[in-house]
A and B are shown apart, each in its own frame.
Chain A
Amino acid sequence: MTREVFIAQVEREQEALRGFLLALCCGNKGDADDLAQDALVKAYLSSAGYQDKGKFRSWLYKIAYNTFLNNKASLRCTESIDEARTLVSSTGSDAEFEHQDLYLALRTLPPKERSTITLFYLNGYSIKEIAAITDTSEDAVKKQLSRGRDKLKEKLKI
Protein backbone atom coordinates (compact mmCIF):
# COMPACT_ATOMS: atom_id res chain seq x y z
CA MET A 1 0.00 0.00 0.00
CA THR A 2 1.45 3.35 -1.00
CA ARG A 3 1.56 6.32 1.34
CA GLU A 4 -1.04 8.19 -0.72
CA VAL A 5 -3.48 5.26 -0.62
CA PHE A 6 -2.89 4.83 3.11
CA ILE A 7 -3.56 8.51 3.82
CA ALA A 8 -6.68 8.48 1.63
CA GLN A 9 -8.06 5.43 3.49
CA VAL A 10 -7.18 6.93 6.88
CA GLU A 11 -8.92 10.17 5.96
CA ARG A 12 -12.11 8.17 5.49
CA GLU A 13 -11.74 6.11 8.67
CA GLN A 14 -10.09 8.45 11.17
CA GLU A 15 -13.29 9.88 12.59
CA ALA A 16 -14.70 6.44 13.46
CA LEU A 17 -11.35 5.35 14.86
CA ARG A 18 -11.05 8.44 17.02
CA GLY A 19 -14.60 7.93 18.27
CA PHE A 20 -13.75 4.36 19.25
CA LEU A 21 -10.60 5.43 21.08
CA LEU A 22 -12.41 8.36 22.71
CA ALA A 23 -14.86 5.88 24.25
CA LEU A 24 -11.99 3.61 25.33
CA CYS A 25 -10.26 6.59 26.95
CA CYS A 26 -13.53 7.47 28.64
CA GLY A 27 -13.89 10.85 26.98
CA ASN A 28 -10.29 12.00 27.35
CA LYS A 29 -9.76 13.52 23.91
CA GLY A 30 -6.06 14.20 24.38
CA ASP A 31 -5.27 10.58 25.24
CA ALA A 32 -7.58 9.31 22.51
CA ASP A 33 -5.95 11.42 19.79
CA ASP A 34 -2.44 10.48 20.96
CA LEU A 35 -3.40 6.81 20.81
CA ALA A 36 -5.00 7.29 17.40
CA GLN A 37 -1.80 8.89 16.08
CA ASP A 38 0.34 6.09 17.55
CA ALA A 39 -1.94 3.43 16.11
CA LEU A 40 -1.94 5.06 12.68
CA VAL A 41 1.86 5.31 12.63
CA LYS A 42 2.05 1.60 13.53
CA ALA A 43 -0.48 0.83 10.82
CA TYR A 44 1.55 2.85 8.31
CA LEU A 45 4.72 0.97 9.19
CA SER A 46 3.04 -2.38 8.75
CA SER A 47 0.97 -1.31 5.74
CA ALA A 48 3.55 -2.87 3.40
CA GLY A 49 2.39 -6.30 4.56
CA TYR A 50 -1.32 -5.41 4.53
CA GLN A 51 -3.36 -7.17 1.90
CA ASP A 52 -6.49 -5.26 0.98
CA LYS A 53 -9.47 -7.53 1.49
CA GLY A 54 -11.91 -4.72 2.10
CA LYS A 55 -11.33 -4.90 5.85
CA PHE A 56 -9.15 -1.85 6.33
CA ARG A 57 -11.31 -0.52 9.16
CA SER A 58 -11.19 -3.78 11.15
CA TRP A 59 -7.44 -3.93 10.62
CA LEU A 60 -7.06 -0.38 11.95
CA TYR A 61 -9.29 -1.18 14.92
CA LYS A 62 -7.19 -4.21 15.76
CA ILE A 63 -4.02 -2.09 15.80
CA ALA A 64 -5.79 0.64 17.79
CA TYR A 65 -7.13 -1.90 20.30
CA ASN A 66 -3.64 -3.37 20.85
CA THR A 67 -2.13 0.10 21.10
CA PHE A 68 -4.73 0.99 23.72
CA LEU A 69 -4.07 -2.17 25.75
CA ASN A 70 -0.32 -1.58 25.66
CA ASN A 71 -0.70 2.03 26.67
CA LYS A 72 -0.92 3.30 30.22
CA ALA A 73 -4.19 5.01 29.30
CA SER A 74 -5.89 1.63 29.60
CA LEU A 75 -4.60 1.13 33.14
CA ARG A 76 -5.57 4.42 34.64
CA CYS A 77 -9.26 4.09 33.91
CA THR A 78 -10.64 1.36 36.16
CA GLU A 79 -11.82 3.38 39.11
CA SER A 80 -14.94 3.87 41.14
CA ILE A 81 -17.54 6.10 39.54
CA ASP A 82 -17.14 8.77 42.25
CA GLU A 83 -13.39 9.02 41.70
CA ALA A 84 -14.03 9.10 37.97
CA ARG A 85 -16.62 11.89 38.35
CA THR A 86 -14.04 14.16 40.03
CA LEU A 87 -11.47 13.34 37.36
CA VAL A 88 -13.76 13.87 34.40
CA SER A 89 -15.21 17.12 35.63
CA SER A 90 -11.71 18.49 36.17
CA THR A 91 -10.64 18.01 32.58
CA GLY A 92 -11.76 20.73 30.25
CA SER A 93 -11.74 18.56 27.15
CA ASP A 94 -14.63 16.51 28.47
CA ALA A 95 -16.89 19.45 29.03
CA GLU A 96 -17.94 19.44 25.40
CA PHE A 97 -19.56 16.02 25.70
CA GLU A 98 -23.12 15.92 26.91
CA HIS A 99 -23.08 12.23 27.69
CA GLN A 100 -20.46 12.21 30.39
CA ASP A 101 -22.34 9.65 32.43
CA LEU A 102 -21.65 7.01 29.81
CA TYR A 103 -17.94 7.82 29.88
CA LEU A 104 -17.97 7.74 33.66
CA ALA A 105 -19.61 4.35 33.63
CA LEU A 106 -17.23 3.08 30.93
CA ARG A 107 -14.32 4.19 33.07
CA THR A 108 -15.29 1.63 35.70
CA LEU A 109 -15.06 -1.29 33.24
CA PRO A 110 -11.83 -3.24 32.70
CA PRO A 111 -10.12 -2.28 29.39
CA LYS A 112 -11.07 -5.49 27.56
CA GLU A 113 -14.74 -5.30 28.56
CA ARG A 114 -14.82 -1.62 27.64
CA SER A 115 -13.37 -2.38 24.20
CA THR A 116 -15.83 -5.18 23.54
CA ILE A 117 -18.82 -3.10 24.64
CA THR A 118 -17.67 -0.13 22.55
CA LEU A 119 -17.09 -2.23 19.44
CA PHE A 120 -20.51 -3.83 19.85
CA TYR A 121 -22.68 -0.83 20.70
CA LEU A 122 -20.81 2.12 19.22
CA ASN A 123 -19.24 0.62 16.12
CA GLY A 124 -21.84 -2.04 15.44
CA TYR A 125 -19.47 -4.98 15.03
CA SER A 126 -20.77 -8.53 15.32
CA ILE A 127 -19.46 -10.95 17.94
CA LYS A 128 -17.43 -12.78 15.30
CA GLU A 129 -15.81 -9.56 14.11
CA ILE A 130 -15.07 -8.46 17.67
CA ALA A 131 -13.45 -11.85 18.36
CA ALA A 132 -11.22 -11.29 15.31
CA ILE A 133 -10.30 -7.74 16.32
CA THR A 134 -9.56 -8.59 19.95
CA ASP A 135 -7.98 -11.96 19.19
CA THR A 136 -10.25 -13.84 21.58
CA SER A 137 -12.87 -16.56 21.25
CA GLU A 138 -16.51 -15.76 20.50
CA ASP A 139 -17.50 -17.21 23.88
CA ALA A 140 -15.12 -14.87 25.66
CA VAL A 141 -16.58 -11.93 23.74
CA LYS A 142 -20.11 -12.99 24.72
CA LYS A 143 -19.10 -13.19 28.39
CA GLN A 144 -17.42 -9.80 28.28
CA LEU A 145 -20.45 -8.28 26.59
CA SER A 146 -22.84 -9.75 29.10
CA ARG A 147 -20.75 -8.70 32.12
CA GLY A 148 -20.06 -5.26 30.68
CA ARG A 149 -23.70 -4.64 29.80
CA ASP A 150 -24.86 -5.59 33.30
CA LYS A 151 -22.27 -3.34 34.94
CA LEU A 152 -23.09 -0.42 32.65
CA LYS A 153 -26.82 -0.77 33.20
CA GLU A 154 -26.28 -0.86 36.93
CA LYS A 155 -24.03 2.22 36.92
CA LEU A 156 -26.25 4.14 34.54
CA LYS A 157 -29.42 2.94 36.28
CA ILE A 158 -31.18 2.09 33.01
Chain B
Amino acid sequence: MTKDKALEELFLAQKPNFTDNDAFMAALTKRLDAVEYVKQHQEATIRRYKMMMVAAFVVGIISGAITIAWVLSTPTNVPLFTFHVQTGILKWLAENSRLIATTLLSLLMTFGIISIINNVQDILQMRVRLYNGDLR
Protein backbone atom coordinates (compact mmCIF):
# COMPACT_ATOMS: atom_id res chain seq x y z
CA MET B 1 0.00 0.00 0.00
CA THR B 2 1.42 3.36 -1.00
CA LYS B 3 1.44 6.32 1.30
CA ASP B 4 -0.73 9.32 0.63
CA LYS B 5 1.83 12.10 0.17
CA ALA B 6 -0.35 14.93 1.50
CA LEU B 7 -1.29 13.01 4.62
CA GLU B 8 2.27 11.93 5.25
CA GLU B 9 3.49 15.52 5.02
CA LEU B 10 0.75 16.64 7.38
CA PHE B 11 1.70 14.01 9.93
CA LEU B 12 5.40 14.72 9.68
CA ALA B 13 4.79 18.45 9.99
CA GLN B 14 2.86 18.00 13.22
CA LYS B 15 5.56 15.81 14.83
CA PRO B 16 5.82 17.47 18.24
CA ASN B 17 9.01 18.63 19.91
CA PHE B 18 8.87 17.98 23.61
CA THR B 19 10.68 20.46 25.80
CA ASP B 20 9.94 18.66 29.07
CA ASN B 21 11.84 15.42 28.50
CA ASP B 22 13.80 15.77 31.75
CA ALA B 23 10.63 16.35 33.77
CA PHE B 24 8.99 13.37 32.08
CA MET B 25 11.95 11.11 32.86
CA ALA B 26 12.10 12.41 36.46
CA ALA B 27 8.39 11.62 36.91
CA LEU B 28 8.91 8.18 35.39
CA THR B 29 11.88 7.42 37.67
CA LYS B 30 9.77 8.45 40.65
CA ARG B 31 6.99 6.10 39.57
CA LEU B 32 9.45 3.28 38.99
CA ASP B 33 10.80 3.82 42.52
CA ALA B 34 7.27 3.54 43.89
CA VAL B 35 6.63 0.42 41.81
CA GLU B 36 9.91 -1.07 43.01
CA TYR B 37 8.93 -0.40 46.62
CA VAL B 38 5.52 -2.08 46.20
CA LYS B 39 7.14 -4.97 44.32
CA GLN B 40 9.67 -5.55 47.10
CA HIS B 41 6.92 -5.36 49.70
CA GLN B 42 4.86 -7.94 47.81
CA GLU B 43 7.86 -10.18 47.35
CA ALA B 44 8.52 -10.00 51.09
CA THR B 45 4.86 -10.92 51.72
CA ILE B 46 5.18 -13.91 49.38
CA ARG B 47 8.37 -15.01 51.16
CA ARG B 48 6.64 -14.75 54.57
CA TYR B 49 3.64 -16.63 53.23
CA LYS B 50 5.94 -19.36 51.90
CA MET B 51 7.81 -19.65 55.21
CA MET B 52 4.55 -19.96 57.11
CA MET B 53 3.38 -22.62 54.70
CA VAL B 54 6.58 -24.63 55.06
CA ALA B 55 6.35 -24.33 58.86
CA ALA B 56 2.69 -25.48 58.81
CA PHE B 57 3.63 -28.35 56.52
CA VAL B 58 6.48 -29.51 58.78
CA VAL B 59 4.36 -29.22 61.93
CA GLY B 60 1.54 -31.13 60.21
CA ILE B 61 3.85 -33.92 59.03
CA ILE B 62 5.52 -34.28 62.44
CA SER B 63 2.28 -34.23 64.43
CA GLY B 64 0.60 -36.57 61.92
CA ALA B 65 3.52 -38.99 62.12
CA ILE B 66 3.52 -38.91 65.93
CA THR B 67 -0.23 -39.54 66.09
CA ILE B 68 -0.07 -42.38 63.57
CA ALA B 69 2.88 -43.90 65.44
CA TRP B 70 0.90 -43.65 68.67
CA VAL B 71 -2.17 -45.28 67.09
CA LEU B 72 -0.04 -48.09 65.65
CA SER B 73 1.90 -48.62 68.88
CA THR B 74 -1.18 -49.15 71.06
CA PRO B 75 -2.32 -52.77 71.47
CA THR B 76 -4.88 -53.77 68.86
CA ASN B 77 -7.10 -55.65 71.26
CA VAL B 78 -7.61 -52.58 73.48
CA PRO B 79 -9.79 -49.76 72.13
CA LEU B 80 -8.21 -46.32 71.84
CA PHE B 81 -10.95 -44.79 73.95
CA THR B 82 -13.91 -46.10 75.98
CA PHE B 83 -17.02 -44.41 77.33
CA HIS B 84 -17.58 -46.91 80.18
CA VAL B 85 -21.20 -47.29 79.10
CA GLN B 86 -23.02 -50.03 77.28
CA THR B 87 -25.44 -48.00 75.12
CA GLY B 88 -25.55 -48.96 71.42
CA ILE B 89 -23.82 -46.18 69.55
CA LEU B 90 -21.19 -45.35 72.19
CA LYS B 91 -20.30 -49.03 72.44
CA TRP B 92 -19.94 -49.20 68.67
CA LEU B 93 -17.75 -46.07 68.72
CA ALA B 94 -15.50 -47.58 71.38
CA GLU B 95 -15.19 -50.85 69.51
CA ASN B 96 -14.24 -49.10 66.30
CA SER B 97 -12.17 -46.37 67.93
CA ARG B 98 -9.00 -47.30 66.04
CA LEU B 99 -10.75 -47.18 62.67
CA ILE B 100 -12.51 -43.90 63.51
CA ALA B 101 -9.29 -42.26 64.75
CA THR B 102 -7.43 -43.33 61.62
CA THR B 103 -10.23 -42.06 59.36
CA LEU B 104 -10.40 -38.69 61.13
CA LEU B 105 -6.63 -38.38 60.99
CA SER B 106 -6.65 -39.15 57.26
CA LEU B 107 -9.38 -36.56 56.69
CA LEU B 108 -7.41 -33.99 58.63
CA MET B 109 -4.29 -34.67 56.62
CA THR B 110 -6.28 -34.52 53.36
CA PHE B 111 -7.66 -31.09 54.30
CA GLY B 112 -4.14 -30.02 55.21
CA ILE B 113 -2.82 -31.08 51.80
CA ILE B 114 -5.72 -29.35 50.01
CA SER B 115 -5.05 -26.13 51.91
CA ILE B 116 -1.34 -26.33 51.06
CA ILE B 117 -2.19 -26.76 47.36
CA ASN B 118 -4.53 -23.72 47.58
CA ASN B 119 -1.80 -21.68 49.20
CA VAL B 120 0.68 -22.65 46.49
CA GLN B 121 -1.86 -21.56 43.85
CA ASP B 122 -2.43 -18.26 45.68
CA ILE B 123 1.31 -17.61 45.73
CA LEU B 124 1.63 -18.39 42.03
CA GLN B 125 -1.27 -16.04 41.21
CA MET B 126 0.27 -13.30 43.35
CA ARG B 127 3.51 -13.73 41.44
CA VAL B 128 1.75 -13.55 38.06
CA ARG B 129 -0.11 -10.39 39.14
CA LEU B 130 3.11 -8.90 40.45
CA TYR B 131 5.00 -9.44 37.22
CA ASN B 132 2.10 -8.39 35.01
CA GLY B 133 2.04 -5.02 36.65
CA ASP B 134 -1.25 -5.45 38.51
CA LEU B 135 -0.06 -4.21 41.88
CA ARG B 136 -3.45 -3.94 43.56
Contact B28 A149 (CB under 8 A): no
| Interface contact A15-B28, CB-CB below 8 Å | no
Q: Is B81 an interface residue (CB 8 A)?
A: no
Q: Do B16 and A19 touch (CB < 8 A)?
A: yes
Min CB–CB distance A146 → chain B (angstroms): 8
Tell me, yes or no, whether B133 is within 8 Å of chain A by CB.
yes
B41 at the interface (CB under 8 A from A): no
B17-25, B45-53, B59-67, B86-94 - interface stretch: B17-25
In residues 1-51 of chain A, which contact B (Cβ within 8 Å)?
Answer: 3, 7, 10-11, 14-15, 18-19, 22-23, 33, 36-37, 40-42, 44-46, 48-49
Q: 0/1 per residue, B20-44, Cβ < 8 Å to A?
A: 0100110111011001100100000
User: Chain A interface secondary structure, helix, strand, loop or mixed?
Assistant: helix
Residues of B within 8 A of A23 (CB): 11, 14
Q: Does B85 contact A (CB under 8 A)?
A: no
**Are B132 and A45 within 8 A (Cβ)?**
yes
B133 contacts across to A, CB distance below 8 A: 41-42, 45-46
The closest CB in chain A to the CB of B8 belongs to A121
Write out the residue numbers on chain B whose beta carbons fall within 8 Å of the beta carbon of A121: 3-4, 7-8, 10-12
**Chain B residues closer than 8 Å to A149, beta-carbon distance:** 4, 7
CB pair B18–A15 under 8 Å, yes or no, is yes
- B69 at interface, CB cutoff 8 A: no
**Which residues in A have their C-beta under 8 angstroms from that of B28?**
7, 10, 14, 37, 40-41
Query: How large, as a class, is the contact surface on chain A?
Result: 35 or more
Cβ–Cβ contact B27 & A37, under 8 A? yes
Query: Is B13 touching A48 in the complex (CB atoms < 8 A)?
Result: no
Interface stretch among A54-62, A73-81, A95-103? A95-103
The residue on B at minimum CB distance from A142 is: B1
Q: Is A131 an interface residue (CB 8 A)?
A: no
Interface residues of A in 88-107 (CB under 8 A from B): 97-99, 102-103
Binding site for B on A (CB under 8 A): 3, 7, 10-11, 14-15, 18-19, 22-23, 33, 36-37, 40-42, 44-46, 48-49, 97-99, 102-103, 118, 120-122, 127, 142, 145-146, 149, 152-153, 156, 158
15 further A-B contacts with Cβ under 8 Å, apart from A37-B24, A44-B32, are A10-B28, A15-B21, A37-B27, A41-B31, A41-B32, A45-B131, A46-B132, A103-B14, A120-B3, A121-B4, A121-B8, A121-B12, A146-B1, A153-B7, A156-B10
Q: List 14 A-B contacts (CB under 8 A).
A: A14-B24, A23-B14, A36-B24, A37-B28, A41-B32, A45-B39, A45-B130, A46-B132, A121-B10, A146-B1, A149-B7, A153-B4, A153-B6, A158-B7
| Shortest beta-carbon contacts, A-B, top 4 | A99-B14, A45-B133, A121-B11, A122-B11
